[in-house]
Amino acid sequence: MKRLTLSIYFILLTILLSNAGDLFNLEIKFNLFPEIKHCENYLKAHNYEKAIYYGELAVKIYPRVFEPYFCLGRAYLGVSEFEKAIDILKKAENRAWTKRQLSFVYSNLGHAYGELDDFDTALFYHQKSLEIVKELEDKRGEAAVLSNIARIYEKKGDLKKALEYYEESLRINPDEKAKAETLNSIALVYSKEGQYDKAIEYLKQAIEIDRSYENYHWEGRHLLNLGDVYTQKGDYKRAALYLDEGLKKVIRAGDKYWEARAYEYYGKLYLEQKIYSLAEDYYKRAQKLFAEIGANDDALRIAQRLQELEKRK
C-alpha cells in the first residue's frame, strides 16, 4: 500500500505546489536548467528511475540550487528509498530561500518519516509546514497540509483523528477541484472501517467534481477506487463496470502506475469470485507493469499475492 499512499501524497503535493507562483518561475528555471525540467517531467509521469537520473545529474551541475535537490528527494520518495530521500531533502532545506520552499520541504520530510513509521517526527515536520502556510495565509496550502497530517493518523490506525483532519481540510479548502482528492481520502477511511455505503457516497461526490472540471485523470483513479469498494462490498457486477471505466481513463492519461493498480483491483475482484485463472492473469499484469516503472514494493506485494493464490487453488 505504500506506493498508493505515495500516489495520493503526490497529488496533494501538486495542489500545494500549484500555489507557488511567488516561489519560482518554473518556465524560466526550466529554460536555464534543462536537467531540472527533465527531472520534474519524469517525476510527474511517475518514471522515478529517469527522474533520479536527471536529478542526480542536476545536483552535480547546480550544487547550490534548491530545485535539483527538491526534485531528486521526491524522486527517491517515489521508489520508497525514504532514508536517501530524507538526506537529500535536508540538503534542499539548507538551500531554500523562501518560506514557501521550506513548507514544501517540510511536507516531504513529514511524508518520508511517515513511511518509515516514525510518526512523531512526521507530525513534527507537517506541523512546521502548517505553521508556514498559515503565516502565508494560504488556505489551499493549509488544506493540503491538513490532509497530509490526516494521512499520518490514518497510518497510525487512528481513523477517527484522520477523519477529523480530512474534514477540516475539506471545510477550509477554497479550491473546489482539489476537494475531490480529499473526498477520495475520506472514502478510503470509511472503506477501512467497513462502511462501504459511506465510502461509495464520498467517492461519487469526488467523481462528480472531477467530471465538472473535466479532470479525467483523477476521475479515472477515483472510479478505480469506487470499483474496488464495490468488490469489498460484494457487488461484483458494479465493481467490474467502474473498474472498466476507470482503467480506460488512466490509460488515456498515460498513468502507468494506476494502470497497474487497475490490474491489481481486477485480480482482487476475480479472486473474491474464486475465478483463479483470471485473478492470476491480472495479478501478473500488475506485477509486470509495477516492475517496469520501478514500483518495486508494489511488484513484491503482488508477488506475495500470487504465492497466496497458488495455495488457494
Mean residue pLDDT across the chain: 91
User: What's residue 105's pLDDT?
Assistant: 98
pLDDT at 20 over 50: no
* pLDDT recorded at residue 293: 82
Q: Flag whether pLDDT at 287 surpasses 70.
A: yes
Mean pLDDT of 279-295: 93
For residue range 174-196, list pLDDT tens digits in order. Answer: 999 999 999 999 999 999 999 99
Cell of 47: 518514471
| For range 89-117, the mean pLDDT | 97
193 neighbors 163 (Cβ within 8 angstroms): no
Q: Where does the pLDDT of residue 24 fall: very low under 50, low under 70, confident under 90, or very high at 90 and above?
A: very low
Alpha-carbon distance 258 to 290, whole Å?
9
12, pLDDT greater than 70: no
Short-list 234, 228, 299, 225, CA closest to 267: 228
**CA pair distance 8, 12, nearest whole angstrom:** 7
Residue 106's closest CA among 157, 141, 140?
141
Note the maximum CA span of the chain.
58
Residue 23 is predicted with a pLDDT of 42
pLDDT(297) > 50: yes
Higher pLDDT, 291 or 263: 263
Q: What is the mean pLDDT of residues 114-122?
A: 97
Closest alpha carbon to 53 in 41, 39, 69: 39
Residue 22 has pLDDT above 50, yes or no: no
Q: What is the pLDDT of residue 21?
A: 45
**Per-residue pLDDT reduced to its tens digit, 192-208:** 999 999 999 999 999 99
What pLDDT score was predicted for residue 30? Answer: 53
What share of the chain in percent tops pLDDT 70?
90
Among 98, 107, 95, 185, which residue's Cα sits nearest to residue 141? Answer: 107
Alpha helices (H) along 117-255: 119-135, 139-156, 159-172, 179-192, 196-212, 216-233, 236-253
Is residue 243 predicted with pLDDT exceeding 90? yes
Q: How confident is the model at residue 64 (pLDDT cuts 50, 70, 90)?
A: very high
Q: What is the pTM of this model?
A: 0.85
CB 104 within 8 Å of CB 13: yes
Q: What is the pLDDT of residue 1?
A: 52
